[in-house]
Amino acid sequence: MSWFGWAGIVICAGIALVALWVRLAPSDPARWHTMPEVERDADLPGGAMRVIGAGPEGLARLDRIIRATARTDALAGSVGEGMVTYVTRSRVFGFPDYTTVRQEGQRIAIFGRARFGKSDLGVNAARIDGWLETFGQRG
Q: Write down the domain spans for the chain.
A: 28-135
pLDDT for 139 beyond 60: no
pLDDT for the residue 22 = 65
pLDDT for the residue 109 = 97
Average pLDDT over residues 100-127: 94
Could you give the CA distance from residue 17 to residue 31 in angstroms, rounded to a whole number?
24
Higher pLDDT, 123 or 91: 123
Could you give the CA distance from residue 32 to residue 113 in angstroms, rounded to a whole number?
9
pLDDT per residue as tens digits for the range 18-50: 777 767 778 899 999 999 999 999 999 999 999
pLDDT for the residue 51 = 96
pLDDT for 103 beyond 70: yes
pLDDT for 105 beyond 80: yes
DSSP E strand stretches across 59-123: 72-78, 83-89, 96-104, 107-114
How many separate helices (H) and strands (E) can be counted in the chain? 4, 6
What does pTM read for this prediction?
A: 0.86
pLDDT for the residue 70 = 95
What is the CATH code of the structural domain delimited by 28-135? 3.30.310
pLDDT per residue as tens digits for the range 69-99: 999 999 999 999 999 999 999 887 788 999 9
